[in-house]
Each structure stands twice: as structure tokens, then as C-alpha cells.
Chain A
Amino acid sequence: MGDFFSNLSLGFGVALSLQNLGLAFLGCLVGTLIGVLPGVGPIATIAMLLPITFGLDPVGALIMLAGIYYGAQYGGSTTAILVNIPGEATSVVTALDGHQMARQGRAGVALGIAAIGSFFAGTVATLVIAALGAPLTGLALVFGPTEYFSLMVMGLVFAVVLARGSILKAIAMILVGVLLSTVGTDLETGEERMTFGLPFLADGIDFAVLAMGIFGIAEIMRNLDHTEHRDVVRQAIGRLLPNKDDFRQSYKPVLRGTFIGAILGILPGNGAVLGPFASYTLEKKLAKDPRRFGRGAIEGVAGPESANNAGAQTSFIPLLTLGIPPNAVMALMVGAMTIHGIIPGPQVMTKNPTLFWGMIASMWVGNLMLLIINLPLVGMWVRLLKVPYRLMFPAILMFCAIGIYSINSLPTDVMFIGLFGFVGYVLIKFGFEPAPMLLGFVLGKLMEENLRRALIISRGSMETFIERPISAGLLAVAAILLVIALLPSIRKGRDEVFTE
């Protein structure tokens, strides 16, 4: 317990320095600014804004990136409530009741409760991370290559089960992602694999390039196919602070949402995406009058938004303790950390405690910033939402190009975002979801490395994965999950959860 407080105070000492406070503020502000644009999710936002953190020291850069992430998340909710265009999967649920509230002239209250719920959830999640960080890091030291490999297999199975649409397609996407990660020089033998003899492919495909192409450029192409229909709320935003009644109705959903979101967020393989759905379904089940849901029930905003934010934060846990990114956003964080010379994993906490605890403390600071920034600035976001897409997307396009060029100063990188953008567009059109592919890509290199090591240790025996108890347990969980997901009755339920 003493450790817990001394660690947190070390963290706050770092996060509350004037420079880092400023960076957290700036990160939240620009994150919200870009994230609020319809059709730009957190992944594209982070990829686009990555270069502006290059000049900073690692601690400052990560604090700013975390701020950008929360800002983008909150910006997505704002768009969902005001325009009914959810920027990403997790804010789909917010759009259901949030937009209805906005149409009833209660947009301010919806935004207010979303911010307050998120802040509460963020506070709890920060404490959870601080409490679990040290013990889980200890766990990581027990893990050998065999266990790491099995854990990543389990994470990928999670991602398959949680992906929308056909399971077969999700599996195919994961395999393609891992396959893409093997492009480039083989680390063990030094031989080039699938590079077409091109020198810029020798180091492999750059993650930021792939992510920007698939989530930034492909999204633009897809949005252009749909004739624009933007339903910006015309009613007044109304007062922002919820009144006593609103609070009475929403404090329990906030508590439950925080709990659900925090637990699901820890799971590897993008568990966080399930939080808002689970919270919404639970609130609807518990409500005295479930018919109010979908017609502007404040519980339908308070619960899922809290779950969303709690999950967004606890998904840092697998990354910071085990070095395994659980979703695409965290994968971008890995990329950002590597650029600043930090390899995420259990050693970060021991070798670099100011960075580790400073970042955790800055998560709380970031949440507070969001509350302070967003409520007074709502009017500005509304105005931004009225910019027509035909002017917005060329600007996004140029920012993407500048952003990706400045990472490596390579014009070929810029061309590759065009190529991957087109690939992503084709995949979307064929009904494949690109997110699992990106996760497969991120975990691919780590998986191959650990697989090789595990097999060298076991002298080429595959049985090592079931002989070692932890590894066997993880693989068993993965197998059970996959079987359950394939059962017809569960599959129907899963489809319902996602279409609701």
C-alpha cells in the first residue's frame, strides 16, 4: 500500500510539472479537435498527430499522446451525440440515446454526463492501473517465450471473437496481418523475405504507414462513396450541467459501467470494445421501463460512456506490464514509444519509473483536462461539425501525407499510405474488418520471435505449449472461446449485440 502511494506521488510529481501539464492540455485539445471531425477515429487521429510529438522528450511525448488519445475518444462521443455519426465502434452505443437526447434539446446534458461519467471512470481506471501495474509486471517475469506466444494467440482469438461480421473473415484478416508482419529481413538468418528486392521493404512494413493507410486514407475513400447526410442537431445545446434528477438516474449506471469497462479493458485482444455494448445491455435489462432506451434515456449515455473510458484506460495495462498491445490504438502507442527509444514491457516500470508512473498520473490529469476543455468549448465543436466534408477531407489528406512523410522523411512511405488505403478500401468493400489485421500485424513479429525461442528451448517439440501449465491454460481459454463463438446459438446472440 505504501508503494502504491509513493508510486502515485512520484507520478503526479512528473505529470504536474508545468511543461507536462501544458503538453497534456495541448494533446487533449488537438486530439478533440481532430477526433471531433466526423469519420476520423482515434487511430487516424493519433497517426496524424504523431509527428507533432517528435521534438519532445519521451515522457512529455507519451503524456501528450495519451492526451491526444483521450481527446480523440471524447471527440468521437461528441460527434456521436451531436451528429449521430459514431467515429468508431465504441461510440456506436452513445449515438443511440445521446443523439435522441440532443434532438430533445438536451445535447448539453448528454455531453455533460458523458464528460462527468468519463472523468469518474478515468479516475477509477487510473487507480486500477496503479494498483495492478506492479503485481502484473511481476507476473510477466514468470512468463517465458512459450507463455508469451500462447498469450498472444489468446489475444488474437479474442480479437476474432470480438470482431464484427463473419468469424472466418476475421480469422483470415488476422492471418493476413501476421503474414504482412513477416515481410522484410528475417532477424535470425538475415535473409530478405517477400520484399520484391525493394530496399525500402527490407526493414519491413512500417506500422504507422499501414495504420494510416488502412484507417485514414481508406476511410476517406469509403466516406466519399456515401452521399453526405449529416444531421447536425439544430436544437439549442441547452444547459451543460446535469441537474439533481439526472444525477440520481445516472450515478448507478456510471458505477456499473466503470466496473464493466475496467474489467473488459484489461483483456488482451480489444476487450474494451465490448464495454459500452455490455453496459448498455445491462442498463436496459435493469431499467424499470426499458422502452425509454433509444428515446433519449440518460442511463444509455452515462453507462456506456463510462465503460468506454474505463476500458480505453485499462487497455494500457497489457501494454505497460506485458508489452503486448491489446488493440490497434495501443499498437500505435508501441510505435510511438519505439520512436522515442522505449521498448514497452515489464522492464519499463523498473528501468524508467518516472516515465511509467508519470504517464499513469497524466492519464488522470488528461481526464480532468477533458472535463475542463470540453464543456466550455462545445460551441466551437458544433461549428466545426458544420464544415462540409468536401472541404474537410482534402485537409485530412494533406495532414496524413505530411504526418507520414515527417516520420522517416521517405516519399515512398507517402506512396504506401495510398497503396494501403486502396487495399483497406477493397477490404471494406469485400466485408472484411481491417482492425483484426492490424492487431495481427502488430503481434506478428513478437509472435514469431517467441515461437522460435520457445521451439529452440524445447528442441523443436510443439508439445511444449501444452506441457507448460500457464501456456496450456491460456491456449485452453482460447480454444474454448473459439468454440463458444462458433456455436450457432451464441453466434446469434453475438450478432444481436453488435447490431443493436
Chain B
Amino acid sequence: MSVLHEGSEPSRHRGPVRAPQSLAGGLLLIALAALALWLTRDLDQGTLNAMGPAMLPRWLAIGVGLSGLALLAAAFLKNGDLLERWSLRGPVFVIGAIVAFALTIRGYSFGSFGIPGLGLLVAGPLAIILGGFATPEARLRDLVVLALSLTPFCMVLFGDLLNLPIPVFPQALTGLFPADWSQKAVLRACAAIMAVAAVVVFLATRNRRRGPIDVADHSGRI
């Protein structure tokens, strides 16, 4: 990562690097090749007649490394593209949302510390709302409505109709419903509650949010 930031800005003034994108690409490939060679260092290469487990990976890694070196050389010899501008916000929130989903869907334990399995009921909205903030244009209210309406849809589609083995709600939740309710019934009830909540949030916050935007819009036009 740090290489990118060093390479991206001053490239125009600093003489030797003529294609920062190739430089970064070459370094990436060399690093990858080195990693693969290091990981296969203890494995047997075998002979052509009886190839060992390390034969192909090792030669491929050498090939990748050579491509990297060629790119690196090209970066100093030929003019090429600059590195594109990037932001960290997108990747950070998107990956954050994915990790949050992965951790909460079935629960996870790191030694003594553990996260209970919360199911789609929690993981879905978490992914949508957290992921939604990957763009600077995010609006919490819209994301909440989206989360509250899409999650029940997915719960019914995947859990009820398609019967996929995906945890839908935390087991503790069954205690809140009458004991003779089946899992499916609890699922449908949860989905219905969420859908109603989505409508309520949508209606309750509609007027309040629209007011100021309309004003801004008018003043902008005048």
C-alpha cells in the first residue's frame, strides 16, 4: 500500500519512473511470486517423470516473478499510465460490511470472546447499512428503509421458499413467540414485522426529510 502512495504523486517530476502503474504492478507480481516460493520452500519438486507437489507452483511463481521484473523494467524504459486516483472509503466500508455479515450470520468465536449466531435478521441489515456508507452520498434513512424491506424479502425467499440452509434469526428469538410455533412461522412473523417497520419508517420520515430538500432545490434554481 505504501508503495502506491509514494509512486503515485511525484512521478511526473521524478525522472526515472516513467510508468508508475507498471512499477506498482511489477512490484505486486514480484511480491506474489516471492510469497509463493516461500510457501512452497519445504515441498518436494520431484522429477518430470513423477512430478512432486512443488513442481508446478514453483515454476509458475518463477514465471510470475519474471513478468513482474519485465513490467518493472518497462516502468523505467517506456512512458505509461499514471496510477489512478483511489479512495479508501469504498473498500473499507464494503469489506467491513462483508466481514460484519460473515461474523454475525452463524456466530464466531475467537478463543474466549465470541459472537452469537444472529442470522440473516441481523446480518442482512448490518451489511446493507454498513456497506451503504461506502459512498459519500449515503443517507441513513434510505438505507434503514432499504434494509428493513430487503431483509424480510430475502428471509422469505431463501429461508422459506427455497429452503436454503441459512440461519435466519437468533435462536433466542423463538422464546419470544408462543412455544408451539414452528421455525417457519417465526420466520414469517419476523419478516412481516420488519416489512411493517419499513413502511412505518418510510412514512414517518418522509415529510420531515422532504421539506428541507425541497427548499434547497428551490433556492438552487432561483
Is the beta-carbon distance between A456 and B57 smaller than 8 angstroms? no
Is the beta-carbon distance between A179 and B164 smaller than 8 angstroms? no
User: Is A220 an interface residue, CB under 8 A from the partner?
Assistant: yes
Is the beta-carbon distance between A179 and B61 smaller than 8 angstroms? yes
| Selected interface stretch from A87-95, A188-196, A261-269, A375-383 | A188-196
Selected A-B contacts with CB under 8 Å, 24 pairs: A55-B163, A55-B164, A172-B64, A172-B68, A176-B29, A178-B60, A179-B61, A182-B57, A188-B53, A194-B40, A194-B57, A221-B94, A224-B89, A225-B90, A394-B128, A394-B143, A394-B146, A401-B105, A405-B101, A411-B105, A412-B102, A429-B84, A431-B22, A460-B49
CA distance A51 to B164 in the complex (A): 8
Q: Which residues of B contact A281 (CB under 8 A)?
A: none
Is the beta-carbon distance between B98 and A414 smaller than 8 angstroms? yes
| Selected interface stretch from B133-141, B171-179, B181-189, B207-215 | B133-141
Is the beta-carbon distance between A390 and B98 smaller than 8 angstroms? no
CA distance A431 to B21 in the complex (A): 7
Which A residue's beta carbon lies closest to that of B150?
A: A395
B114 to chain A minimum Cβ distance, whole angstroms, is: 13
Chain B: residues with Cβ within 8 Å of the partner, total of 77
A217-B32 contact given A409-B165, A429-B83, CB 8 Å threshold: no
User: Is A25 an interface residue, CB under 8 A from the partner?
Assistant: no
User: Is B216 an interface residue, CB under 8 A from the partner?
Assistant: no
Q: Which of B67, B132, B139 contacts A172 (CB 8 A)?
A: B67
Is the beta-carbon distance between A169 and B25 smaller than 8 angstroms? yes
Contact with A along B48-67 (1 / 0, CB 8 A): 11111110110011011001
A51-B158, A224-B90, A398-B150 are known; give 19 further A-B pairs, CB within 8 A: A168-B74, A191-B53, A193-B53, A194-B57, A220-B90, A221-B94, A390-B135, A394-B127, A395-B146, A398-B127, A401-B123, A402-B154, A411-B103, A418-B98, A430-B28, A431-B22, A431-B25, A456-B50, A460-B50
User: Is B131 an interface residue, CB under 8 A from the partner?
Assistant: yes
Contact with B along A399-431 (1 / 0, CB 8 A): 101100110010110110111011001100111
Q: Which residues of B contact A120 (CB under 8 A)?
A: none
Chain A: residues with Cβ within 8 Å of the partner, total of 64
Q: Is the interface of B mostly helix, strand, loop or mixed?
A: helix
Q: Which residues of A contact B89 (CB under 8 A)?
A: 224
B97 to chain A minimum Cβ distance, whole angstroms, is: 6
CA distance A279 to B164 in the complex (A): 43
CA distance A310 to B67 in the complex (A): 35
Which A residue's beta carbon lies closest to that of B108?
A: A411
User: Is A432 an interface residue, CB under 8 A from the partner?
Assistant: yes
